[in-house]
Amino acid sequence: MRNDPAERPSPSPRERSRRQAPPVPAGSGVSFVMPVLNEHDYLRRAVETVLEQQVYGPVEIVLALGPSSDGTTELAQQLATEDDRILLVDNPAADIPVGLNAAIRASSHPTIVRVDAHSELAPGYTERALRTLERTRAGNVGGVMRADGRSPFQRAVARAYNSRIGLGGGAYHGGAQEGEAESAYLGVMRRAVLDEVGLFDESIRRGEDWELNLRIRSAGYRVWFDPALSVTYWPRESWHRLARQFLATGTWRGELVRRYGLRNSLRFFAPPALVLSVILSLVVGILQLTGAIGPVWSILHVPVLAYVLLVLAVAIGPGGGSGLRDKLWTLAVLPTMHLAWGTGFLGGLLRGAHDTVDTSRLAGRNTPLP
């Protein structure tokens, strides 16, 4: 059908000038790889949505198990006894790229589908992705991350994730146009391409997917975004975990800017600019209160005021939960995400990420906020 992107004609001659990922025989099988750490409340459903995918050929899912403290490992072992398509490998360091590489090396099929224990694949996701991968011959294919929530706090975080304001407007946070992309959420890849570029960089603890896609594009392949591919993502359930997650993510983005400079998108520089604007506004406010400077300097408060009005507009606007608690949590969530990310970015840029870890993944079982 003409309106179905997966049925559109193959890429144009200009698009074909890029390298094409090697095809694989029909029915040759798919390996899903999933790093897992403290995901007891989400793991079973995440695995079920993978095994429910309709794929022509053999399927396996390889779980890379970190040292969980909430019963996740025991649950994974139980799931593996229930279905022989589930394989387990150890990831004692708990680092996502290390776990992904261990799972990929333990897998046996020529197509790799990255999945996440905090996510659920939509029905038909893999079948669609394989058709798009075959049609475009891209190095990586990904779709839309649709965040969702169960509590007012988690719904507020999901609303921020799905908003262009929340995470800066990357294609996989709500893009509608199919085509080449900077990066891909999760991703469906040929194993031959991964082997060529060297799998995930195990020295990068956050942003490892962006860096892998940078190497895929540098090798001459395209990274392809298909908005018909949908994955449900469940965000962190508490404010302190959200703050720790974004602080670590921002720190590693600062490290990636140290390594790759302006090959990073300019949108990544917005949160640190906000942090610097807030600091400048506070300094100016203190100096004005002491009489050291006059009211003319109040113009430096304008960026922060504009940001506050923007957050208010998002909080009271349409979308997400309609309850009062949802809206109040949105007022807290957006600044937390931006300021934590921006603060981490500045620290990572100035000092490097070193051994920074996302400690929001290391705690025990999640306790949702009301």
Contact between 115 and 186 under an 8 Å Cβ cutoff? The reply is: yes
| SS3 label, residue 99 | helix
Q: What is the pLDDT of residue 177?
A: 84
Q: Which residues contact 129 (CB under 8 A, 6 or more apart)?
A: 113, 141, 143, 188, 226, 229
Q: What is the pLDDT of residue 317?
A: 80
Q: What is the pLDDT of residue 111?
A: 97
Burial of 136 (0-12, 13-18, 19+ CB in 10 A): buried
Q: Render the burial of 309-336: b for 16+ CB within 10 Å, e for the rest.
A: eebeebbeeeebbeeeebbebbbbbbeb
Domains and CATH numbers, the chain: 5-235 (3.90.550.10), 243-354 (no CATH)
Query: What does the pLDDT average to over 191-198?
Result: 96
Contact between 35 and 8 under an 8 Å Cβ cutoff? The reply is: no
Q: What is the pLDDT of residue 60?
A: 97
Query: What does the pLDDT average to over 348-369?
Result: 77
Checking if the pLDDT of 158 tops 70, the result is yes
Q: Can you give 43-75 as a three-state secondary structure string? A: HHHHHHHHHCCCCCCCEEEEEEECCCCCCHHHH
Q: What is the pLDDT of residue 4?
A: 44
Q: Which residues contact 286 (CB under 8 A, 6 or more apart)?
A: none
Q: Residue 9's pLDDT band (boundaries 50, 70, 90)?
A: very low
Q: Residue 369's pLDDT band (boundaries 50, 70, 90)?
A: low
| CA dihedral (36, 41, 44, 46) positive or negative | negative
- From the list 357, 115, 368, the residue with the least C-alpha distance to 231 is 115
Contact between 159 and 321 under an 8 Å Cβ cutoff? The reply is: yes
Checking if the pLDDT of 320 tops 60, the result is no
| CA dihedral (240, 344, 211, 199) positive or negative | negative
Structure-model confidence comparison of residues 311 and 9, the more confident one: 311
Q: Which tokens belong to 272? A: 């640190």
Contact between 220 and 19 under an 8 Å Cβ cutoff? The reply is: yes
| Residue type at position 106 | A
Q: What is the pLDDT of residue 323?
A: 80
Q: What is the pLDDT of residue 318?
A: 72
Checking if the pLDDT of 284 tops 80, the result is yes
Q: How high is the mean pLDDT of the chain?
A: 89
Measured CA to CA, the distance from residue 102 to residue 87 in angstroms comes to 12
